[in-house]
């Protein structure tokens, strides 16, 4: 079977399928694993824990692979769960540790063959099945004939190319570029970037910096040792532009801003006087993309009413978090310590019997995906899709797969 995309969902899917005994090929477009967690340097894992304003430690929303991964990541990153405003618990991590851990986990399973630097170019489907996936493996065409496909591309690329109905969520949320400054006064984090925001606000009002510069925030958990990971949020996509054009524009616009922005900070903000720009994420963090219109669809109402399902295969605990025109996200919370179920059929395209979609491209409404898209939930849905795919590949029933997944969540 074939897993496409080596991000949080894809690593979980390949691990689940390999541990269930399936022979797996895992394709990844970059030279390392982790998807946006590493290429966009997201910096915190959301969706692992229940929201809680009172507790002094984090409560996992689920058992199984997401917590196994989080436990090992905590050891390698020397981090621990952190409580932010509103009782939101996240796990900070270093992107290089995430990539290394994902690779270590995949290496432990001899059934998984990882092929890096490979993108899917076309898909052939017959009789409601994907029968061939043509990819470009670095500089050569590679044809794969999978029995089952798990689409963890974040863009439903394989499912859509194979004829599955999909919706374009590219305009739902704005993207962000992460960059790291070193040699910053650690006290700046405690002051919530206040003096940075003050200077940026005045500079934007004077017209000496573009308005986008005000859309700056700090990645939670960073800053303690003077190394600050900042996130610059852009504006949502325009309906009139093809997404690949929009993406090109965003990448160039954001990267071009960094030089004047950092120069400004070193001159105007005492805490940043000796700051040095040491890295910029290789890719923008794209919060929303194309997703399948599946046999079931996670709705806003299901999320906000904490709906449970007898075929729930993952649990969502993150509130709806929508990054739009405002420089900060609009949050829609549900009850503390609550979670909702993601029903199994959200992973299943209507048109394809041997294909599952996990992570950001499963079937959900715009609002529901602003909650379900986060890394912790993506890992859980990836695990479920990988398990189901292994069961299907070996002729076992999907009901058995669901029962096993649900047992592992406890």
Partner 1 sequence: MTPEKDPKIIAARLCEFVRTNFVAEGVDFNENGPLSEAGIDSFALVELVLFCERVLGVRVPDSQLTSANLASISSLASCIAELAHTAHKTA
Interaction site with partner 1 (CB under 8 A): 85, 190-195, 197-198, 201-202, 269-271, 327-328
Smaller CB separation from partner 1, 133 or 196: 196
Q: Are 112 and 15 in contact (CB under 8 A)?
A: yes
Half-sphere exposure of 265 (CA within 13 A, CB side): 27
Smaller CB separation from partner 1, 188 or 342: 188
Name the DSSP letter for residue 30. Answer: S
Tell the smallest beta-carbon distance from residue 232 to partner 1 (Å).
15
Residue 238's DSSP bridge partners are none
Smaller CB separation from partner 1, 329 or 359: 329
Tell the smallest beta-carbon distance from residue 129 to partner 1 (Å).
50
Tell the smallest beta-carbon distance from residue 200 to partner 1 (Å).
9
Smaller CB separation from partner 1, 175 or 329: 329
Tell the smallest beta-carbon distance from residue 81 to partner 1 (Å).
20
Q: Compute the distance between CA of residue 25 and CA of residue 353 in angstroms, rounded to an integer.
A: 19
Q: Are 129 and 393 in contact (CB under 8 A)?
A: no
| Helix/strand/coil for 113 | strand
Residue 178's DSSP bridge partners are 231
Q: Compute the distance between CA of residue 263 and CA of residue 309 in angstroms, rounded to an integer.
A: 52
Smaller CB separation from partner 1, 54 or 270: 270
Name the DSSP letter for residue 270. Answer: G
Tell the smallest beta-carbon distance from residue 191 to partner 1 (Å).
5
Q: Compute the distance between CA of residue 284 and CA of residue 177 in angstroms, rounded to an integer.
A: 5
Q: By C-alpha distance, which of 287, 185, 273 is closest to 227?
A: 185
Q: By C-alpha distance, which of 84, 155, 154 is closest to 331?
A: 84
Q: Compute the distance between CA of residue 51 and CA of residue 33 in angstroms, rounded to an integer.
A: 28
Q: Compute the distance between CA of residue 264 and CA of residue 282 in angstroms, rounded to an integer.
A: 23
Tell the smallest beta-carbon distance from residue 197 to partner 1 (Å).
4
Name the DSSP letter for residue 86. Answer: G
Residues present in the chain in total: 410
Tell the smallest beta-carbon distance from residue 223 to partner 1 (Å).
13
Smaller CB separation from partner 1, 239 or 270: 270
Smaller CB separation from partner 1, 76 or 217: 217
């Amino acid at each position: 079977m074939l897993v496409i995309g080596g991000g949080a969902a894809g690593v979980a899917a390949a691990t689940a399928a390999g541990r269930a005994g399936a022979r797996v090929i895992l394709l990844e477009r970059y030279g390392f694993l982790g998807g946006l967690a590493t290429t966009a340097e997201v910096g915190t894992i959301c969706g692992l824990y229940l929201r809680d304003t009172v507790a002094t430690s984090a409560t996992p929303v689920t058992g199984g692979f997401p917590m196994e991964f989080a436990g090992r990541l905590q050891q390698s990153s020397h981090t621990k769960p952190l409580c932010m405003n509103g009782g939101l618990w996240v796990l900070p991590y270093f992107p290089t540790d995430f990539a290394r851990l994902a690779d270590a986990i995949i290496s432990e399973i001899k059934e998984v063959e990882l092929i890096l630097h490979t993108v899917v170019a076309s898909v052939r489907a017959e009789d409601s099945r994907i029968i061939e996936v043509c990819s470009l493996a670095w500089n050569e065409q590679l044809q794969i004939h999978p029995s089952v496909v798990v689409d963890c591309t974040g863009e439903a690329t394989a499912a859509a190319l194979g004829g599955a109905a999909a919706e374009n969520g590219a305009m739902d949320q704005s993207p962000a570029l992460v960059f790291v400054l070193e040699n910053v006064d650690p006290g700046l984090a405690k002051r919530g970037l206040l003096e940075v925001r003050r200077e940026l606000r005045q500079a934007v009002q004077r017209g000496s910096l573009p308005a986008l510069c005000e859309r700056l925030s700090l990645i939670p958990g960073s800053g303690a040792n003077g190394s600050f990971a900042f996130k610059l949020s852009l504006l949502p996509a325009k309906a009139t532009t093809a997404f690949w054009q929009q993406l090109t524009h965003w990448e160039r616009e954001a990267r071009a801003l960094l030089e004047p922005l950092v120069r400004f900070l070193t001159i105007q903000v005492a805490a940043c006087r000796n700051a040095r720009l040491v890295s910029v994420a290789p890719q923008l963090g794209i919060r929303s993309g194309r997703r399948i219109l599946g046999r079931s669809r996670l709705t806003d109402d299901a999320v906000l009413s904490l709906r449970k399902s007898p075929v729930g295969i993952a649990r969502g605990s993150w509130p709806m978090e929508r990054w739009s025109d405002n420089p900060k996200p609009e949050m829609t919370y549900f009850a503390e310590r609550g979670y909702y179920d993601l029903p199994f059929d959200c992973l299943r395209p209507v048109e394809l019997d041997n294909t599952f979609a996990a992570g950001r491209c499963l079937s959900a409404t715009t609002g529901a995906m602003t909650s379900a898209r986060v890394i912790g939930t993506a890992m859980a849905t990836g695990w479920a899709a990988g398990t189901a795919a292994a069961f299907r590949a070996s002729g076992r029933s999907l009901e058995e797969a669901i029962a096993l997944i649900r047992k592992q969540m406890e």
